[in-house]
Amino acid sequence: MKRQIKYVLIGIAAMLITNGTVMAQSQEQVMAKNQEQVKTQNKEQVKAQNKEQVKAQNKEQVKAQNKEQLKNQEKTQAMLQEFKSTLTEEQKAILQNQEMTREQKHEALQECFSEEQKTIKKSESKTGKW
């Protein structure tokens, strides 16, 4: 009888050890799985943050480029207005003449430009504005 109880107790102990080992393995698997999920979530968050940063940087670059283009357009308009203000009545008449071709107008204007106008035009041609 004592032997039987002893064997029963040994069997129960063996079952408990086995169940404990299985439970420990299950807990380790669950923890490993959770760690993987956390890693994946962290990677996704980093990707999303990087994507947002790139978007913000691109937006700032576009803003800066647009601002620079606007500034250049304003400068060009100011220079064009300055040049137009130097035109004589004869030159304005050439520009408004509907019967002349563009080439004819160009040749006629080149002949009657003042030195100041030639200088302005030359400096603007170098900058690529005209």
Q: How far apart are CA 62 and CA 50, in angstroms?
A: 18
For residues 62 and 104, state if they share a domain: no
Q: What is the pTM of this model?
A: 0.49
What is the token pair recorded at 25?
Answer: 């393995």
Query: Average model confidence (pLDDT) for the chain?
Result: 85
For residues 93 and 78, state if they share a domain: no
Q: Which residue range is the domain that position 111 belongs to? A: 88-130
Alpha helices (runs of H) in the chain, residue ranges in sequence order? 2-85, 89-96, 102-112, 115-127
For residues 111 and 71, state if they share a domain: no
Q: How far apart are CA 124 and CA 49, in angstroms?
A: 45
C-alpha closest to that of 86 among 120, 62, 61, 63: 120
For residues 5 and 52, state if they share a domain: yes
The predicted structure's pLDDT at residue 124:
72
Q: How many CB atoms lie within 10 A of CB 79?
A: 17
Instruction: Report how many domains make up the chain.
Output: 2
Of 20-24, 41-45, 75-79, minimum mean pLDDT range: 20-24
Per-residue pLDDT reduced to its tens digit, 23-35: 667 778 888 888 8
The predicted structure's pLDDT at residue 51:
92
